[in-house]
Amino acid sequence: MSRKDLFDKPFDEGTMVKLEIFEKYLEVWLPTFVMSDFPNPIQIFDLFSGSGRDMNGISGSPLRIIEIITKHINILKKQQKVVYLFFNDIDRQKITLLEKLINDSIADAGLSSFIVVQYTNETFIRCLDLYRKCLNNGCNLIFVDQNGFKEVNEKVFKFLIGLQRTDFMFFISSTFIHRFANRPEFANHHPNFDINRIRKTSRKLIHNVICDEFEKYVPPEIKSYALFSFSIMKSDHNNIYGLIFVTKHILGADKFLQTVWKKNAINGNANYDIDDDLSKDQLDLFNGKLLTKIEKFQLELRNKILDSKISNNKEAYLFTINNGHISSHADDKIRKMKREKLIDFESKSSLVNYDQVCKKKRTLNFKLIKQ
């Protein structure tokens, strides 16, 4: 599988979606560690960084990283924190161009005291070897912008998910995998993937299935983790690409879900109507109104509360995150159940959110009201 150069032409719509999700997640990830008491260095690894811009001057991920850090310069000053950046591309000419662009941007933004940058011209695997020590010591965000299927094999995935205080996301061409999954090179990279399942899956859903296959690589000793996908349909409506995001911390899962649900408030895991929710406001001849993704989740949450399988805000919050939803979806339903006098609790809010459950450690019990 050859490496495709994304910088020799304008970024297409799908590439822009990918960059925007990475940028928005970084925007909420960075202050979490700047404001924390962790003594470990804050580190961002962009290991397929390119030259920094497309042919029309649109910023790629390295410049977007600088822009986000610039937005947080005041808290960096206050907390006296430094952000360490690692930019790599196998193309030496691109790294040479990127180095000048980034160094000029840092100087122009007055960030020289708050950023340390290392540039390399290596393969992805070589980078992981070079940075192994600092990866084990840092608070890390790792972005694998190309060739995720080829580069993030089982060994690499297990290494990355085994790191502490590390979130990573990688980008893959799911349609390409779908189309050529029976070729020998795919089995060489991922021998444990279910090729028949991949081939039989509809193109629209293929990225979700590939994400499920990557979940096989999670070591059994890791009990707490989140692995989310976001499918991206290219403007030609034929090719599906996607991001896969992995974290071992519930705050990372929460923030990523907030990011993608803002990107698409209908389903939160694609830039298109992956579940056909837009057609579900009409009655089905045999089944009545079909439920949307959010309505299905809210109905399941309601039933679990009424069956006493979820009895407080902590249980409701964990159920929400594990099902790929955001707190407001649960809060809306739980408060409605209170108005309908199905349950009662001693608060105006359901307290189903990270701050109340994990930071303040508040427990709010849901009392069933007998009908």
pLDDT digits (tens, 9 = 90+) for 192-222: 999 999 999 999 999 999 999 999 999 999 9
pLDDT at residue 235, rounded to an integer: 78
Could you tell me the pLDDT band of residue 38, with boundaries at 50, 70 and 90? confident
* Residue 333 token pair: 């339903």
Lookup: tokens for 359: 């930071």
Query: What is the per-residue pLDDT for 2?
Result: 40
Q: Read off the pLDDT of residues 311-320 as tens digits, 9 standing for 90 and up.
A: 999 999 999 9
- Regarding pTM above 0.95, the answer is no
- DSSP-assigned beta bridge partners for residue 270: 231
CA angle 256/52/65 to nearest 5° reads 35
In this predicted model, what pLDDT tens digit does every residue of 224-271 receive, in sequence order? 999 999 999 987 778 899 999 999 999 999 999 999 999 999 999 999
Distance CA 233, CA 334 (A): 34
Two tokens, residue 252: 């990372």
Residue 60 has pLDDT above 50, yes or no: yes
Higher-pLDDT residue of 371 and 26 is: 26
Alpha helices in the chain (DSSP H): 13-34, 61-71, 73-79, 92-109, 124-130, 132-137, 148-151, 154-162, 174-180, 184-189, 195-200, 206-214, 250-263, 293-306, 313-322, 327-339, 354
Q: What confidence score (pLDDT) does residue 3 get?
A: 44
What three-state secondary structure class fits 240?
Answer: strand
Q: Which residue has the tokens 């995720």?
A: 148
Q: Which amino acid is at 202?
A: S
In this model, does residue 4 exceed pLDDT 50? no
Nearest alpha carbon to residue 231 among 259, 207, 249, 252: 207
Inter-residue contact 153 to 190 (CB < 8 Å): yes
**What's the length of the chain?**
371
Average pLDDT in the chain: 91
Q: What is the DSSP string of 260-295?
A: HHHH-TTTSSBSS-TT-GGGTTSEETTTEEPPPHHH
pLDDT of residue 180: 83
Q: How far apart are CA 305 and CA 322, in angstroms?
A: 16
In angstroms, the CA 41 to CA 33 distance is 9
